[in-house]
Amino acid sequence: MSSVLVTGGTGNLGRHVVRQLLDRGHQVRLASRSAAPVEAITDYSWARVDYRSRAGLDAALIGVDTIVHCAGGSARGEAETMAALLSSGRRARVKHLVYISIVGVDRLPLGYYRAKYAAERSLIGSGLPWTILRTTQFHDLALAIVKGVCRSPVALAPRGVSLQPVAVEEVALRLSELAGADPAGRVPELGGPEIRTLADLARLYLRSTGRRRPIVPLPVPGRLIKGLRAGHGLTPDHADGVQTFAEYLAAGGATA
């Protein structure tokens, strides 16, 4: 089995990727901006890395075959982190970089999406062997959006906007599979099993919490909403996820 460095290994996605890789028998090194917890006993190694200054990155890549890049953040941070990984990755002769991206990064006018798309293009032109997986929003992000909609006494849901939430654990499983395989370029997208309007998701959330309030579809202008209404953030042909949003809520997601 290969040696894998997971960036953002303590984050929402990265911690699941670390566990999936360990379960598959890989040697795993977790890269984090923070120092390892005091007296932590783990079955993976820990590397403290500052992507802006690049301190610690070359050392973190010693002996690494594959990078799974899960670290996220701001648009500026996305560019800095990818540039650092590509520079150090070439020096370390890394054999494979797996990158998690988002469905619609090339079509939806969001600053963070543009940064993700630019990072994709940087990776493609880097000379490093690569794999890119685009997914729809995780359940917890969809929940945060729905909570925002339901915060007022009357829930105002942008009319015609739908989401396709997917379980973070299922994305982690797919990334771990890709990390153990040969570089594959742009692989098929991964979306949740259902496409539901924001109003539908709001009803599911309110029902799961025992709350009642009217939900009013609201016409909202703007290029982003227009793109969402057109389905640019959806992947109906790759609705390969298993856990639905309702199942996520029933499993305790509503209280997250």
Q: Which residues contact 68 (CB under 8 A, 6 or more apart)?
A: 4, 5, 6, 7, 14, 17, 21, 98, 100, 175, 176, 179
Residue-wise pLDDT tens digits, 102-114 = 999 999 999 999 9
| Strand-strand pairing, 162-163 and 66-69 | unpaired
Residue-wise pLDDT tens digits, 185-206 = 999 999 999 999 999 999 999 9
Number of H helices, E strands in the chain: 9, 11
The pLDDT value given to residue 39: 65
| Strand-strand pairing, 162-163 and 196-197 | antiparallel
* Whether the Cβ atoms of residue 60 and residue 44 lie closer than 8 Å to each other: no
3-state secondary structure of 170: helix
Q: Indicate the pLDDT class of residue 231, thresholds 50, 70 and 90.
A: very high
Residue-wise pLDDT tens digits, 120-158 = 999 999 999 999 999 999 999 999 999 999 988 999 999
Q: Indicate the pLDDT class of residue 254, thresholds 50, 70 and 90.
A: low
Spans of all domains in the chain:
3-197+205-255
- CB atoms < 10 A from the CB of 207, how many? 13
CA distance linking residue 97 with residue 99, whole number of Å:
6
3-state secondary structure of 36: coil
Class of domain 3-197+205-255: alpha beta
